[in-house]
Structure formats: structure tokens, C-alpha cells
Amino acid sequence: MERSSETQAVRAEPERSPEQLALPAEPERSPEQLALPAEPERPLERLAPPAEAERSLESTAHVARGFQPSEAIAVDAPDLRLTSPGIRLAQVKEELIAWVKTLVSAAVYAILIVTFGFQIARVEGQSMAPTLEDQDRLVVNKLVYRIGEPRRGDIVMLYYPLNPEKSFVKRVIAEEGDTVRIVDGRVYVNDIPLKDDYVPTEFRSHDDWGPQVIPEGYYFVMGDHRNNSSDSRHWGMVPKKYIIGKVQLRWWPVPSARMF
């Protein structure tokens, strides 16, 4: 009796086919896995045609370089205007004309300066020593006497009255209307001894001259080297029109350069 009860407690298992016996059992899923939605299927991407792919690559390459295709063409293309022989010749002509204009302008300015403004002069001889020495280079201001008059003590450049083709450098001693007298080398202007400390003792003369009144429009000039100078004591007064200008600067030699 006990065996028959055990037999009733065991359920009979249904029979399986050979295919069902070969398949593995499906694993059990957790509640979270059962709640997740199924992933949708993605459609297959369409392949671009070869021509479109090449254009895409070209655009990408230009963007990476940082400029547009049209800009690259503009930079690489040669400027035909600069290589034209006719245009080059025209440019050369323009440059030559510009240079000629510059040179002509400089020559005109130089002529105007020399004619009306300043002149470079060179001392020859010792008649103005020790103030000016032989071969000193000077700048002569020609404009100053166009707006003013020579004054006593001015060092001037003048035309030699007996031969205006020559020019001398002398010092103005007396103006028009003054009375000049020289006694044993001592100069008096209007009976007042001339202050001529610039003349060393060994350079003084011992001659006598005058007295004489300087006529209107004339000047009495002398060299600072009194015993070695040809001046108004020998060839007379100098008309104002023969006075070229005032010695403004000695620029050579450089160590002894000075203004007057």
C-alpha cells in the first residue's frame, strides 16, 4: 500500500521529441530585463556615389586649409600685366622722368641758393690772419645785405674794385660818412681809436693814411694782417654793389669751425 501512494505523488513527465531534447533551455530573465523595450532595427546607410564622395573630400580639404578654392586660384595665377614688355618699358620711362625732374629741381634750388642765398668760398693767402687762415672754407651769406647794410667789424666777401673778376675777403672798418685816419698804424674812426684787439702786435703796420671821409654808398675795408694786406689803403673805397655778402661761418677745418 505504501508504494502505491508514492507512485501517485509523482507526476508523469510528458515525452519530448529528439529536436526538443537537443535545444538548450532558455535562461530566465529578471523583471528589469523584461521591462526594457526592444532596440529598433537601424536601416542600412546609403552609399554615396563616387563623384559626390570626391567633391565632399575636396571641400573638406579646403576647409581644413582655411581658404576657399577660388582664393587658391587667385594666388597661384600669374599677373600678366607685370610681365608685359610694353608696361615694363612705360614704368622705366616714368622712373627716368621722375629722376630727371628731381635732378633739375635740385639744380634750380642750388642755383637760387648760390645766386640769392649762400655761397661757399675758400681763403687764399694770409691777409686776414690770424682770424682766417689760408685754405679755410667759408659760408658767405648773400641774403643779409639785400635786406640790411654792412656794419663796422663785419667780415665780408667783395669784388676787387680794380678787377671785379677777382674776389677778396676783408673786414669793414668804416661806413659811409665816417672819417678815417691812420697814424703809425693806429686806426681812428671819427677820431676814436678803433678797437682792434683781434690784430696781434706783430701783425700791425706803421703807416699813415688820411684823414678822409668815406663817400655815400662806399665802405673802407682792411685785412686783419695789417702789414701783409692789400686793401682800401692801397686801392680806395669799395662800393656797396661790390660787396657780395657777409662771411657767416668757417666750416673747414672742422676743429676751428666757428660763426662770425
Among all residues, which ones are annotated catalytic?
127, 170
Are residues 172 and 154 in contact, defined by beta-carbon separation less than 8 angstroms?
A: yes
Q: How far apart are CA 171 and CA 197, in angstroms?
A: 13
Collapsing DSSP to helix, strand or coil, 86 comes out as: helix
Supply angle C-alpha 83, 86, 88, rounded to 5: 55
Chain length of the chain: 260
Nearest to 227 by CA among 197, 189, 201: 201
Are residues 187 and 210 in contact, defined by beta-carbon separation less than 8 angstroms?
A: no
158: CB partners within 8 A, 6+ apart: 167, 168, 169, 170, 221, 238, 242, 243, 244
